[in-house]
Structure 1
Amino acid sequence: MKADLKLVAILTLSLLPCFLYAEVEQALPVRFAELIKEENTVLVDVRSPEEAKAAHIKGSKLVNYYANTFREEIQKLPKTKKILLYCRSGNRSGKTASYLESLGFEQLVNQSGGINAWKREGLPVVEM
C-alpha cells in the first residue's frame, strides 16, 4: 500500500512540470491565417532570406534560423504578444517554438506544414 502511494506521488510530481507550461498551439493554415488578423500578434518567418524572397506571408518578420545571431534576435520578440511562427515545413518553426517556450514565452503558435501547406491551401504569399 505504501509503495503504491509513493509511486502515485512520484508520478504526480514528475508530470507536474508538463502542466505548468503553456503548450505550443499547432495551427493548420486556415486557422493560422485567422490568427494573423488578430491584434497583439507577431508573425515570424524562421526561414533563410533566400527562401523568404521566393515567397513569404505578408507582414512577417524574418529571423533566419541558421544565422549566427538567431538566438539573440529571436529573444528580442515581445513576451506579451502572441508569436506566430512558420518555416518551410513546420520543423524549424516547431524547434523555435520549443526554444521560446523554454525562455518563458507563453503565447506561441506553430503553423503546421509551414509555407508549403499554406500555399497548398491557396492562401496568399508575397513573391519577389
Structure 2
Amino acid sequence: MSTLSRRTLATLVVSTAAAVTLSACGADESSSGDAASEPMAAPNVIIDVRTPEEFAEGHIEGAVNIDVSSDSFGEAIAALDMTNSYGVYCRSGNRSAQAVARMEEAGFTDVHDLGGLKDAAETLGLEIVTT
C-alpha cells in the first residue's frame, strides 16, 4: 500500500471514529423534551407533606400541610378532590415520593413529586414563606 493510501485510510478511520464519538454525545432523541426549557404547569393544589413544625419554619406560599407520617394522612387525602392536579414536596424528596405513591394507590392520577422544598419552589416559581 502506498504512503498516500495509508494516509487516506488513516484519515478516514480517524474521521469516522470522531463522527461516531460526537454523535454519541448528542441529545437523547427519545426524551420528551428538556425539562429545564419546559416549565411544569402549576398544579391546582400544592401539598407539603412535612411535619407541622417543619411547615411553620418555611413552606411554599399557598401550600397545604398534610403530614405523610401522620396517622390521619390516609383520611386527609381521601377528603381531597381526585380531579385536581397535585404537586407534592417535602424536605429532600423522600417523603414526597412516599406520599405520591400512596396518593396514586388511592386513585389519584394527576400527582407530581416536586422533590425537596427548594427544588419545588424553584420549579413552580413560587416563594418560600413562614407562618
TM range (shorter): 0.5 to 0.7
Q: Distance in 1 between matches of 2:127 and 2:51?
A: 19
1:35 aligns with 2:42: yes
Task: Give the Cα–Cα distance (whole angstroms) in 1 for the partners of residues 126 and 45 of structure 2.
Answer: 18
Query: Aligned match of 1:126 in 122, 126, 129?
Result: 129
Mapped partners of 1:106, 1:118: distance in 2 = 19
Please tell me the residue identity of whatever aligns with 2:119. Answer: A
- Matched residue type, 2:67: N
Residues 82/125 of structure 1: CA separation in 2 closer, same or farther (3 Å cut): same
Higher relative contact order (CA 8 A, sep 6+): 1
Q: 1:86 aligns with which of 75, 85, 89?
A: 89
Residue by residue over 1:63-83, the C-alpha shift from the partner in whole angstroms, topping out at 9 and shown as x without a partner, is 011212111112211100101
Larger radius of gyration: 2
Gaps spanning 5+ residues in structure 2: where?
A: 1-34
TM-score where L is the length of structure 1: 0.63
Structure 2 equivalent of residue 15 of structure 1: none
Cα distance between partner residues in 2 of 1:83 and 1:98: 13
Structure 1 moving runs of 4+ over 6 Å: 119-122
Aligned residues: 95
In the alignment, structure 1 residue 55 sits paired with structure 2 residue 58: yes
Q: TM-score with structure 2 length normalisation?
A: 0.62
In the alignment, the residues of structure 2 paired with residue 81 and residue 119 of structure 1 have an alpha-carbon distance, to the nearest angstrom, of 20
Percent identity between the aligned chains?
A: 33
